[in-house]
Structure 1
Amino acid sequence: MTNPTVSIITATYNSSHLLKHAIRSVIDSDFQDWELIVVGDCCTDDTEATVLGFGDARISFYNLEKNSGQQATPNNFGLGKARGKYIAFLNQDDFYYPDHLGRCLSELEASRADFMVIPGINVLSSKREDFERGNYGVQLWSVHPDGHYSSNVFSVASTWFLKKSSADRLGPWKMEKDLYVTPSQEWLFRASQLGLTFHFPSRVGVLIILSGERKNSYKTKHSFEHEYFSTHLQDAELKAQLLEKAAIYAYKRNQSLLFFEPKTLVRRVMGLPLDWVLKRLGIHPSSLRYLRGWGGKGGLIKKIRKDTGLG
């Protein structure tokens, strides 16, 4: 059997109502030479039936025997199964825009980079009645300044595209219990520390809807946001509207920092020397901020699990 060009890895847990939309966004991609490896973190719902229901031989499902409670374990399992020349991740609650994978391939090859991070549109949480009136916020995510990797920019795994050889060089994701930052951001930081070359396209390829920002999202087996966007990914006008919303949000945020929150800017500037020292020591610069904000190792993910109904 011929190996696919791109291996896409999706970690999931008891969220078939979200997963089905993520899978559909892959199937509807303009680029079709892929395999999708869905890894359940010991799922106990109808996840397997949902995956198999697509009837697509390019999609495989594996269900781990023991629940790890994090993305690292199923993602590492998926990496071990990947056969493609390139690796992409897709979180169970995110979407690829139709032209995303094809453009990733051409852009990475043209740039000759090892690792690419593509901006995404993050839909902020809102009440259903506000959302239906169009009264919801969005912001751009995974945007790194000046075309250089920044450890201060949180980049969800759905926005990554890299060579399989780069993933092999990086090795497995570390476990949350061993980290102050999230496993995904440690893996990305490690790529920078190892000297992998990055490329940051100036386009949006992913739609992000964070379950971790939506209270009891794992208990509520329905998402009005996913239902809506899953049927509008081809809508170029809506995408333009989202980008407009994101631009206005960013401008307002910048104005607020400049004129109403100058102390925040001062603290960030004063923290740059410390960031530099931590990088030289091989420590993710956000580790101290995570420690102060969320407590010990794995603190942020523990809070997310509690808020979403998993903890």
Structure 2
Amino acid sequence: MGKLDRFAKETFAEETSRVTGGAAAWEDAPEVRLERVQADGYLRVLRPEGLAFLAAPWPEVRAHEEALVELKLAGDHVDVREVKRALLRRQAREVERVEEREPPWMGEEPLWFVAPHVPSWLHGVRALEPVAPGCYRVGPSAFQFLWIAANELPLRDELVPFLVARSGRALDEFARWVAPRREVEWVLSMIQYMPMSAWTREDLKRRFGRSDDPEIEARRQEILQTLLADSPEVKEQLIEQGIEKGIEQGIEKGVEQGQQQGRLTEARAALRRVLARRGLALSAALEAQIDGCSELATLGRWLEQAVTAASAGDALA
């Protein structure tokens, strides 16, 4: 299982109970007997009445104990093979439920297929009945076959488990919308795993940079350290970049210091020339005073005073 798949399923697991108020729950799917036919997970219905007033597709599962969920994320193939495999997994789960009970269960296992969009080929082989924005009933079918097009779903808090399947501009829109609505840990994981555009990723990184809240900042640092530990090549790259940046900054600072020192040397020399032309002798103490001055403004003031001063001491007063 890839990191994006794991993130999506963890989001489904964590968000489902929260957004439905405990009316539904996500369960990881076990392998079915020896066939190794494994779905992404199930939506377990705990309180059907709690789903009635949520945005679709939630109300569609109220008449069932569970629904098998297939998650296809941005970049995943959604061709006829994947749909056939999903149908096979649904059938395997249905057989499992029949074998679990005595007398045998006589129901039909629903299938919810979550993907960024409805593929064009599906329109040619199936009848799609719109149920709600982004939700289509697929027919003909003896069981509930629901296609959930994440890119078409409205941005609603209770739909976050489905919205993680968005792609392209719709994914960018979702990422910017959901970021201020979730904990920083979840947002940082989203930034790391979801294939949003570079512009959106950088924008979110800026928005979720260092926090003034010490508790949030501590969690953020812990997450970043974990991410770096999991990606040693990135950590090494950052170290190298830091060294290069330090060298560049050191060179720049050295140049600035050299330029400043040059201006001080020239200012001291100009002051001494004026004093010498006017015949104002410098004592050892006054020489040391000039050499010890590191402020251009002070040297400039002494130079102006040297033009009219009666003595070198008055010029450096």
TM-score range, shorter chain: under 0.3
**Bigger RCO (CA 8 Å, 6+ sep):** 1
Of Structure 1 and Structure 2, the greater helix share is in 2
Normalising by structure 1, we get a TM-score of 0.26
